[in-house]
Amino acid sequence: MKSIQQATLAGGCFWCIEAIFQRVQGVQSVVSGYTGGTTEHPTYKQVCAGSTGHAEVAQVSFDLDKISFEEVLDIFWQAHNPTTLNRQGGDVGTQYRSAIYCHDDAQHKAALASKAAAQNKFADPIVTEILPLKTFWPAELSHQNYYNNNSAQPYCAFVISPKLKKLGMV
């Protein structure tokens, strides 16, 4: 019997995190969305304005029989720069912060241990927040499966494609 678990991860633009995890063995689905703020039912426009408190996130559903939460986090640390506060490349603002939104106490404990282990791979301090997940708001349909539907779009070609290549996913 399969055991499906979810991880909710913020590492810059959700299109990047979504594209990466869609290519990971054991991942069942990835939904782009928002969490960590106070606005109910936020829109992309509101989140991009930086006034909602929400981060762009990807909610990753994965099969524990094929990949562990710790392995998901190992990919997360490689997929973005967790040492830059509220920024990933040209994407700047609190909506692009690095964060792990934990679904339970076991994930929180594992995330803290993973962050401590990952720190050895970075010269600068990791600024990734580790917080309990409160409410996840799925992003609009136009933001789902974004890279797969828009790979020729400039942001995809110049930002996401190089990340996928770096991680050996293309």
Residue tagged 């830059």 (tokens):
84
SS3 call for 86: coil
Question: Would you give the DSSP letter of residue 126?
Answer: P
Q: 99: how many CB neighbours lie within 10 A of its CB? A: 21
* Active-site choice (13, 16, 102, 156): 13
Annotation says 13 is catalytic: yes
**Under 8 Å between Cβ of 88 and 16:** yes
**Tokens read off for 58:** 């990807």
CA-nearest of 116, 142, 110, 124 to 33 is: 142
Question: What residues act catalytically?
Answer: 13
